[in-house]
Amino acid sequence: MHAIDVFDPSGATEVLNLHAPRLDTLAGKTVALVSDDMWQAHRMLPLVREKLQARFPDATFIPETEFPMGSRQMDTEEVVDMLVARGVDAVIVGNAS
């Protein structure tokens, strides 16, 4: 039997940490909401913000309207720089499709 070697020219990235470390609490933290601008994200993210604000009244929530919206727009270094500049401790990404 003959063997065929197949090479993927696109390469591969090894994922070492699947998730970022989780915060113990949102109390006193700054949390940004970022929208992929898909169907119903404009309804879901304000509701998430409202529920979390009620649970963590001393947290600061930055609404999704203060960041570029859309899957391609939110996945940029510009958005990362904006989040860092705002001192964000956590980000909630809205994928409401």
Q: What is the mean pLDDT of residues 19-47?
A: 88
Query: What are 68-97's pLDDT values in tens digits?
Result: 887 777 778 888 999 999 999 999 887 655
Mean pLDDT of the chain: 86
Note whether 48 and 92 are within 8 A (CB): yes
**pLDDT score for 96:** 59
What residues are paired with 93 via a beta bridge?
34
Q: What is the pTM of this model?
A: 0.74
With 70 as the cut, is the pLDDT of residue 43 above it?
A: yes
**pLDDT score for 31:** 97
Neighbour-count burial of 94, counting CB atoms closer than 10 A to its CB (0-12 exposed, 13-18 middle, 19+ buried): buried
